[in-house]
Amino acid sequence: MIQRHNFEERLRAAVVAAGFSLELEPHALASLTYAQESRVKKSVIAEHLRYSLGPDVPWSFVPSPKPRHYRTTSRRIVRNARTSSYLAFANGAPTAPSVLEPEEHGRVFAFVSDVLKDRRNAFAKVLQHVIVRGTYDEHVVIFNVHELDADIVRAARSAIAAVQQLVPSVRHAWLYVDPRRSRYYLDSDRLFSGVQQKRMTGESVWRQTVNDILFQVGVFSFSQVNLSILDTFASTVVAMADVRTGDAVADLYCGYGLFAAHVSDVASSIVAIDADATTVANARYVLQRRKARAKAVAARVTPTTLRAAIRTMDVAIIDPPYSGPDEGVIESVGSFGPRRVVQVYCNANDVRRCSQSWKRAGYTPVKATAFDMFPGTLDIEIAVSYEKHTPSTGTTSRKPIQRSQRNGGRRS
């Protein structure tokens, strides 16, 4: 029996019911045309949002401008057999060119596959994961290894030089030392003193432009995997937030400052918070470049952090990780009484649960937008805007809109 709240199960069943075949995850829908995929997805999104938000909340669907070869972060793991090692997808299937990844990613993985065939290679013996990140024309390669010494570094330098000759867009290369051999490619909870990250070539950031705003993103920091949709994603979320001239804005789980930068010419003040210090430093960089009245705080988003960092809040934008906001965060945000809240969900199954928490905090969903951030897969990104009830009537509160004189209040 399909669980009503489970978006992936619903989508999988709808694809089969429509007569299409499912591939192995994470490429479950990659064999469909994008028109077929979008048609099935929209029907499931409509059902999911009716269940999660109620029948009267309007919603829209934003397709991916680049439905294939879009992924700006790809990963392979190293599998060790008795007589050989090979690269594989997370599900264990041997690596192959993916229609969801740029061609450059496939060339990197193909080269590393050849390196692994040499059992005498010191680098091959310690390699655990290979990650390719960046933009469509500037790439970072991260090699996760379980130990490091001079021989391994020399072998790694040789491999990286060969990769850069084969794929000139690879401008940055790093080693990431994970002696616990975590199943994750970046294990941020390691208890390891000593070398953790070693730059082999290039910088610690890459640069990308979204809606004419220049951002820098740390090579180990979170970033969205579909660069092609980010212009529309950022502008739509900001429009849903309805930031007005003079508003105090909280950007929670701010990452490298995507949303904070987009409201910086309207808001009177911005507080951007994220747990990762390096990521916050990049958010601070873009906000300073835009001369924003803002502070960027490196701290876990908790009720205690919010009380310490924020005095007033007219609008909140919340983009938590897949696990959702920490306990008490929704209630804490609600206690500030912001006029409008937008929560971004990379886990569609959290929409109903969190929306019930927002309702208890005094907020009603007024609009939802589904972004096809992960075409070819069973995942979807959803943004929901909530408005505060007025005490007397229970309806949402609206104050007169004040726009900046510059381009309707937002910089294009």
**CATH number reported for the structural domain that contains residue 283 in this entry:** 3.40.50.150
- Of the three residues 168, 203, 238, the one that is the final residue of a domain is 203
pLDDT at 29 over 60: yes
Question: Does 52 lie in the same domain as 79?
Answer: no
Look at residue 277 and tell me if it is in a domain.
yes
| Domain identity same for 193 and 272 | no
Half-sphere exposure of 402 (CA within 13 A, CB side): 8
Residue 137 counted as domain residue? yes
Does 50 fall in a domain?
yes
Same-domain status, 181 and 77: yes
| Domain boundaries, position 89 | 73-203
Q: Which of 379, 303, 382, 283 is nearest to 342 (CA)?
A: 382
| Mean pLDDT of all residues belonging to the chain | 91
* pLDDT at residue 187, as a whole number: 54
pLDDT of 20 higher than 70: yes
Where residue 4 falls among pLDDT bands split at 50, 70, 90? low
In a domain, 328, yes or no: yes
Q: Return d(Cα 324, Cα 406) in angstroms, integer.
A: 35
Of 33 and 190, more confident: 33
Residue 29 in domain = no
User: Is it the case that residue 412 has pLDDT exceeding 50?
Assistant: no
Same domain, 262 and 380: yes
Whether the per-residue pLDDT at 365 is higher than 90: the answer is yes
Q: Give the torsion sign (CA, 45, 48, 51, 52).
A: negative
pLDDT digits (tens, 9 = 90+) for 76-95: 999 988 778 999 998 888 88
Query: Measured between alpha carbons, how far is residue 16 from residues 10, 22, 28, 79, 91 in Å?
Result: 10, 7, 11, 31, 21
Domain membership flag for residue 336: yes
Average pLDDT for 269-292? 97
Q: 17 in a domain, yes or no?
A: no
Q: State whether 60 and 97 are in the same domain.
A: no
Q: Which residues touch 386 (CB under 8 Å, ≥6 apart)?
A: 340, 341, 342, 343, 355, 358, 363, 364, 365, 366
pLDDT at 12 over 70: yes
- Collapsing DSSP to helix, strand or coil, 227 comes out as helix
In DSSP terms, 51 is beta-bridged to: none
Residue 231 CA to residue 234 CA, distance in Å, equals 6
Percent of the chain beyond pLDDT 70?
91
Do residue 137 and residue 56 come from a single domain?
Answer: no
Least confident of 34-43, 44-53, 286-295, 384-393: 384-393
**Confidence label for 185 from pLDDT (cuts 50, 70 and 90):** low
Q: Band the pLDDT of 391: cuts 50, 70, 90.
A: low
Alpha-carbon distance of 363 to 100, in angstroms, equals 38
- Residue ending a domain, among 203, 235, 255, is 203
Looking at the structure, tell me whether residues 260 and 384 fall in a common domain: yes
Q: What is the DSSP letter of 224?
A: -
Domain count, the chain: 2
Q: Which two tokens stand for residue 402?
A: 């004040």
Task: Please state, in angstroms and as integers, the Cα–Cα distance from residue 340 to each residue in 308, 329, 345, 366, 383, following that order.
Answer: 21, 15, 16, 10, 13
Final residue of a structural domain among 171, 203, 235: 203
Evaluate if residue 289 carries a pLDDT over 60: yes
d(CA 349, CA 335): 25
Q: Residues 233, 158: one domain?
A: no
Are 62 and 79 in a shared domain?
no
90 and 49 inside one domain: no
Looking at the fold, whether 42 and 105 belong to one and the same domain comes out as no
Q: What is the 8-class DSSP label of residue 22? A: P
Given this model, what pLDDT does residue 2 score?
62
| Alpha helix (H) residue ranges in 327-377 | 329-336, 351-360
Q: What is the mean pLDDT of residues 142-165?
A: 96
Tokens of 31: 């064999």
- The lowest-confidence range among 97-111, 242-256, 385-399 is 385-399
Residue 15 lies in a domain: no
- Which pLDDT value is given to residue 330? 98
Do residues 41 and 101 share a domain? no
CATH value at residue 124: 2.40.50.1070
Burial annotation 223-259 (CB, 10 A radius, 16+ → b, else e): bbbbbbbbebbbebbbebbbbbeebbbbbbbbbbbbb
Residue 403: pLDDT over 60:
no
Predicted confidence at residue 393, as pLDDT, reads: 44
- Res. 1: pLDDT tops 60: no
pLDDT at res. 186: 62
202-242 tens-digit pLDDT: 999 999 999 999 999 999 999 999 999 999 999 999 999 99
